[in-house]
């Protein structure tokens, strides 16, 4: 596209009063050699008409709108797919962040503010000049059918909901019949007002709905042997349940075993298995996968004081459910339900338990009472959780004289006697019962086995399962259905211990996510968090050294590689985070609107005054997911930011190439900070690992700076949440104070 660029400076929202707009316009037309126009309110009806007219009659196709934050007024400044629009943030991050002048500093304050505004204009003009119009990636072949793995409540619901939305679906189920765990339920939780009585198990009617739906194909006694490809074109090889396959994941071979294999003294367990990237070309194709493989009951035998495995009066909740279903509760008149293991760890729940185990205990206590009006149930809990409408179910149970509930620490089970202390009743208890039921939790199947067997460079299973208790998590708050493999959406017990209603809601969400992903792949755009982004990473392969950093660091396994290590991109797996770009030492990965040269040039466009300690320059790379909105909100609250700071938004800290830090310091800037999301066990990074990877890279760059004679303290990585808007400026202003203490960058002026 031949670009016709124009910069538009809005003078509304206080921008025109705070800044000398004429001077800013001269920066655009002079230094930056771009056309410049101003308007009193660009986002208003007249402003929008003015911009439309600029497009229509002046032929402008590249708009540089220097006004409010790019996070707001997106619809107003959407100039169409055939145009480029860049936003310079003069409002939230310049004018509103300036605070008021201190007494006696009015003149300097105005000068600093004008300099800040000019730098943001320079950066926006540079970005405008360097941005290219993206073209969406077009897939060679596209299949929109959804594969649902697992035929329990979650899988059935996902299939039915996707089919209702018009999708074709195939359900595969390992067992010989659909239904999963629900086939073993005696009754189910109440699903409608007044939420008081248990309901008959509805799984049979749910299965009948699946079987009657022409859009749904069911394959029982079937498992996945291999999944290769990418969203819109997953190549799936199926196999008979339990059968061995040529695609089975390689066995782990130790060093000693490898030695024996090499000497021919041991058979190679991987002989005959296919390489990671091979897929069966004759495989079925699907557009997306819903992972609904469910859960297995947690092992509770480790709690010896409770006697599971040695005391035949002690069973798990899953075993008790089966007894109820089979009508084997006769003669079992007094039952204790133990919700927390007690012992030394007073307050802890059984692993993988949550509100659902509380509710199962209530349900099963009702079985006891319904079976025999004289029977008694004792529920001993540390945490009784009955969310939402289940509170009404709980209230109903409280009214039953035959069900006793108390907070208690169970100290042991001997024969048919449960010992408990620290009870709400204020006394220790010894309860004689016929049966003891332990509230075993729900362990996701992803912890037990790899059912998905991906033909991905980064391995056949989800990464970091150990870190997340075996859950295939991608972002536990913002994107709960996501896994770290784009196009694979988890729901139901494989994602979290949940009850039937929650499972059905969850499965509906996952089905919609799968459809959304397929449609995005079809349009060649990203799924969230960069939904609709048409750009994708492009590689200048001639200069690739096959170092494999990009393939190893991509949080989503989007890059495979060939035997030499040359990256093989799968654009529909890509979430456009730019982590590969940040990783590449050769700087050969970039996007049409976000690349090494573009950001490097923005950095260099910042004016660096010499010999003025009041005018040091500190660059903050702010992650657009949490940090950037927190900074905007601080501005909206008119908190005061130090005038030496300049922000550059980045897609994720993982995309920050260390070349930018070197560029910044060699351009004479005095300090740099990476401001992104929390990493670690309770990470918040929207691209899973970006901020963690960036932090590691920053540790390394500290060493490089030392060898250059620069203090490593000049660069830093910090973590903030979107809710830290009231403290984020303090964090930054303190960093400025530290840089001021260090003094100016000695490279300034060279
Ligand atoms: S690192 Fe991010 S941008 Fe690069 S290929 Fe992976 S998902 Fe895409
Ligand atoms: S990081 Fe860069 S040089 Fe290394 S393999 Fe990837 S593209 Fe090639």
What pLDDT was estimated at residue 184?
95
Residue 141 lies in a domain: no
pLDDT digits (tens, 9 = 90+) for 68-123: 999 999 999 999 999 999 999 999 999 999 999 888 889 999 999 999 999 999 99
The CATH number of whichever domain residue 625 belongs to comes to: 3.40.50
The CATH number of whichever domain residue 548 belongs to comes to: 3.30.70.20
Query: DSSP character for 95?
Result: I
* Least distant ligand from the CA of 564: 2
Question: What kind and span of H or E run contains 724?
Answer: none
- Report whether pLDDT(281) > 90: no
Residue 139 lies in a domain: no
What pLDDT was estimated at residue 257?
83
Report CA(574)–ligand 1 centroid distance (Å): 5
Nearest CA to ligand 2 atom 2: 584
CA-wise closest residue to 83 among 66, 61, 51, 50: 61
H-helix segments, 372-433: 390-398
What is the residue-wise DSSP string for 616-661?
Answer: --EEEEEETTTHHHHHHHHHHTT----TTEEEEEES-GGG--HHHH
Nearest CA to ligand 2 atom 7: 544
Task: Tell me the whole-structure pTM to 2 decimals.
Answer: 0.92
Residue 723 lies in a domain: yes
Ligand 2: nearest atom to the Cα of 587: 2
- Please give the Cα distance from 735 to 727 (Å, whole number): 13
* Least distant ligand from the CA of 578: 1
Cis bond upstream, residue 194 (ω within 30): yes
Percent of the chain with pLDDT over 90: 81
For residue 265, count CB atoms less than 10 angstroms from its CB and return exposed for 0-12, middle for 13-18, buried for 19 or more: exposed
Is the same domain home to 674 and 633?
yes
Domain C-terminal end among 498, 523, 548: 523
- Please give the Cα distance from 117 to 60 (Å, whole number): 24
SS3 515: helix
- Please give the Cα distance from 684 to 673 (Å, whole number): 18
- Report whether pLDDT(347) > 90: no
Is the same domain home to 478 and 514?
yes
Residue 531 lies in a domain: no
Spatial contact of 300 and 308, defined as CB atoms under 8 Å apart:
yes
Question: What kind and span of H or E run contains 480?
Answer: none
Nearest CA to ligand 1 atom 7: 574
pLDDT digits (tens, 9 = 90+) for 586-606: 999 999 999 999 999 999 999
Query: What residue has token string 């003094």?
Result: 743
**Average pLDDT of the segment spanning 286-315:** 96
* Least distant ligand from the CA of 549: 2
H-helix segments, 265-415: 317-325, 355-371, 390-398
* Range with lowest mean pLDDT among 29-43, 311-325, 344-358, 429-443: 344-358
* Least distant ligand from the CA of 584: 2
Report CA(688)–ligand 2 centroid distance (Å): 21
Ligand 1: nearest atom to the Cα of 576: 3
Is the same domain home to 636 and 514?
no
Report CA(694)–ligand 2 centroid distance (Å): 17
Q: What residues flank ligand 1, with Cβ below 6 Å?
A: 537, 554, 556, 558-559, 574-580
Domain C-terminal end among 133, 163, 186: 133
Report CA(170)–ligand 2 centroid distance (Å): 38
Between 342 and 175, the more confident residue is 175
Nearest CA to ligand 2 atom 3: 544
Q: What are phi and psi of 157, to 5 degrees?
A: -65, -45
SS3 87: strand
- Please give the Cα distance from 608 to 118 (Å, whole number): 12
Is the same domain home to 112 and 233?
no
Q: Which domain holds residue 339?
A: 301-440
Is the same domain home to 16 and 113?
yes
Q: What residues flank ligand 2, with Cβ below 6 Å?
A: 539, 544-550, 567, 583-584, 586, 588-589
The pLDDT mean for the chain works out to: 93
Is the same domain home to 449 and 436?
no
- N-to-C CA span, the chain: 38
Is the same domain home to 614 and 723?
yes
Report CA(589)–ligand 1 centroid distance (Å): 10
pLDDT digits (tens, 9 = 90+) for 245-279: 888 877 777 888 888 888 888 888 777 767 677 78
pLDDT digits (tens, 9 = 90+) for 17-32: 999 999 999 999 999 9
Report CA(569)–ligand 1 centroid distance (Å): 9
The band of 346, judged by pLDDT with boundaries at 50, 70 and 90, is: low
* Least distant ligand from the CA of 474: 1
* Range with lowest mean pLDDT among 22-26, 500-504, 550-554, 684-688: 684-688
Residue 196 lies in a domain: yes
Nearest CA to ligand 1 atom 2: 577
Is the same domain home to 605 and 711?
yes
Report CA(685)–ligand 1 centroid distance (Å): 14
Is the same domain home to 689 and 738?
yes
Is the same domain home to 313 and 285?
no
Percent of the chain with pLDDT over 70: 99
- Report whether pLDDT(538) > 80: yes
What pLDDT was estimated at residue 679?
86
Nearest CA to ligand 2 atom 1: 584
Residue 98 lies in a domain: yes
Report CA(687)–ligand 1 centroid distance (Å): 9
* Least distant ligand from the CA of 569: 1
**Average pLDDT of the segment spanning 340-365:** 90
Nearest CA to ligand 2 atom 6: 550
Is the same domain home to 98 and 155?
no
**Average pLDDT of the segment spanning 519-537:** 95
The CATH number of whichever domain residue 412 belongs to comes to: 3.50.50.60
With the most atoms of ligand 2 within 8 angstroms of its CB, the residue from 541, 544, 578, 654 to mutate is 544
- Please give the Cα distance from 197 to 167 (Å, whole number): 36
What pLDDT was estimated at residue 264?
84
* Range with lowest mean pLDDT among 522-526, 732-736, 743-747: 743-747
Ligand 2: nearest atom to the Cα of 539: 7
- Report whether pLDDT(749) > 70: no
Domain C-terminal end among 573, 589, 605: 589
Is the same domain home to 598 and 552?
no
Give, to the nearest 10 degrees, the angle between helix 153-164 and helix 500-523. Answer: 50
**Average pLDDT of the segment spanning 651-679:** 94
Residue 528 lies in a domain: no
The strand pair at 222-230 and 233-240 is best described as: antiparallel
Residue 530 lies in a domain: no
Q: In the chain, helix, strand, coil percent, each to 5?
A: 35, 20, 45
Q: How many CA atoms lie within 13 A of 608 on its CB side?
A: 23
Nearest CA to ligand 1 atom 4: 580
Nearest CA to ligand 1 atom 8: 574
pLDDT digits (tens, 9 = 90+) for 701-714: 888 888 878 999 99
**Average pLDDT of the segment spanning 295-322:** 95
Instruction: Show the 3-state SS of 519-571.
Output: HHHHHCCCCCCCCCCCCCCEECHHHCCCCCHHHHHCCCCCEEECCCCCEEECH
Question: How many domains is the chain built from?
Answer: 5
């Amino acid at each position: 596209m031949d670009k016709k660029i124009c910069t538009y400076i809005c003078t509304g929202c206080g921008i025109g009063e705070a800044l000398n707009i004429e001077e800013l316009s001269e920066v655009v037309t002079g230094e930056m050699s771009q056309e410049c126009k101003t308007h009193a309110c660009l986002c208003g009806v007249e402003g929008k008409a003015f911009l439309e007219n600029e497009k229509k009659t002046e032929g402008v196709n590249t708009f540089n709108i220097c006004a409010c934050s790019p996070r707001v007024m997106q619809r107003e400044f959407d100039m169409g797919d055939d145009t480029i629009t860049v936003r310079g943030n003069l409002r939230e991050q310049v004018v509103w962040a300036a605070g008021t002048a201190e007494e006696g500093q009015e003149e300097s304050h105005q000068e600093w503010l004008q300099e800040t505004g000019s730098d943001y204009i320079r950066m926006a003009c540079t970005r405008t000049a360097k941005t290219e119009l993206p073209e969406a990636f077009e897939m060679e072949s596209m299949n929109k059918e959804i594969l649902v793995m697992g035929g329990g409540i979650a899988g059935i619901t996902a299939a039915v909901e996707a089919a209702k939305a018009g999708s074709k679906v195939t359900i595969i189920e390992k067992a010989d019949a659909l239904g999963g765990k629900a086939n073993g339920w005696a009754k189910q939780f109440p699903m409608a007002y007044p939420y008081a009585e248990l309901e008959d198990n509805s799984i049979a009617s749910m299965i009948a709905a699946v079987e009657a739906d022409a859009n749904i194909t069911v394959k029982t006694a079937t498992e996945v042997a291999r999944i290769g490809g990418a969203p819109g074109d997953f190549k799936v090889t199926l196999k008979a349940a339990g059968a061995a396959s040529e695609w089975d994941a390689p066995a782990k071979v130790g060093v000693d075993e490898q030695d024996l294999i090499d000497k021919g003294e041991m058979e190679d367990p991987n002989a005959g298995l296919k390489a990671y990237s091979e897929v069966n070309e004759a495989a079925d194709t699907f557009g997306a996968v819903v992972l609904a493989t469910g859960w297995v009951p947690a092992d509770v035998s480790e709690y010896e004081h409770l006697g599971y495995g040695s005391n035949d009066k002690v069973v798990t909740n899953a075993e008790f459910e089966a007894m109820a279903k089979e009508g084997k509760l006769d003669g079992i008149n007094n039952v204790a339900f133990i919700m927390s293991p007690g012992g030394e760890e007073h307050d802890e729940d059984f692993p993988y338990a949550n509100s659902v185990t509380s509710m199962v205990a209530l349900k099963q206590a009702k079985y006891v009472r319904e079976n025999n009006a004289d029977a008694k149930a004792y529920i001993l809990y540390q945490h009784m959780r009955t969310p939402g409408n289940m509170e009404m179910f709980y209230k109903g149970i409280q009214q039953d004289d035959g069900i006793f509930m108390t907070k208690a620490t169970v100290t042991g089970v001997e024969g048919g006697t449960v010992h408990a202390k620290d009870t709400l009743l204020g006394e220790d208890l010894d309860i004689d019962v016929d049966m003891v039921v332990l509230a075993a939790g729900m362990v996701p199947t992803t912890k037990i086995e790899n059912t998905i067997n991906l033909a991905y460079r980064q391995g056949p299973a989800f990464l970091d399962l150990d870190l997340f208790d075996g859950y295939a998590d991608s972002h536990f708050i913002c994107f709960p259905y996501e896994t770290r493999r784009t196009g694979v959406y988890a729901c139901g017990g494989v994602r979290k211990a949940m009850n039937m209603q929650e499972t059905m809601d969850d499965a509906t969400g996952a089905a919609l996510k799968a459809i959304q992903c397929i449609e995005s792949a079809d349009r060649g755009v990203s799924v969230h968090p960069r939904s609709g982004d048409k750009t994708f990473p492009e590689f200048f392969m001639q200069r690739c050294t096959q170092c494999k950093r990009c393939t190893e660091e991509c949080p989503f396994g989007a890059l495979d590689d060939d035997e030499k290590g040359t990256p093989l991109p799968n654009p529909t797996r890509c979430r456009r985070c730019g982590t590969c770009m940040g990783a590449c030492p050769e700087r050969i990965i970039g996007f049409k609107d976000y690349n090494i040269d573009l950001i490097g040039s923005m950095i260099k466009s910042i004016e660096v005054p010499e010999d003025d300690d009041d005018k040091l320059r500190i660059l903050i790379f702010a992650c657009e997911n949490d940090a950037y909105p927190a900074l905007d909100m601080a501005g909206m609250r008119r908190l005061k930011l130090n005038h030496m700071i300049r922000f550059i938004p980045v897609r994720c800290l993982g995309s920050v190439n260390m070349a930018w830090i070197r560029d910044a310091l060699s351009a004479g800037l005095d300090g740099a900070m990476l401001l992104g999301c929390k990493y670690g066990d309770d990470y918040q990074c929207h691209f899973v690992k970006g901020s963690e990877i960036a932090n590691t890279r920053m540790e390394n760059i500290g060493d490089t700076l030392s060898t250059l004679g620069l203090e490593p303290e000049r660069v830093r990585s910090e973590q903030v949440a979107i809710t830290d808007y009231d403290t984020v400026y303090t964090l930054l202003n303190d960093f400025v104070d530290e840089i001021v203490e260090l003094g100016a960058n000695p490279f300034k002026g060279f």
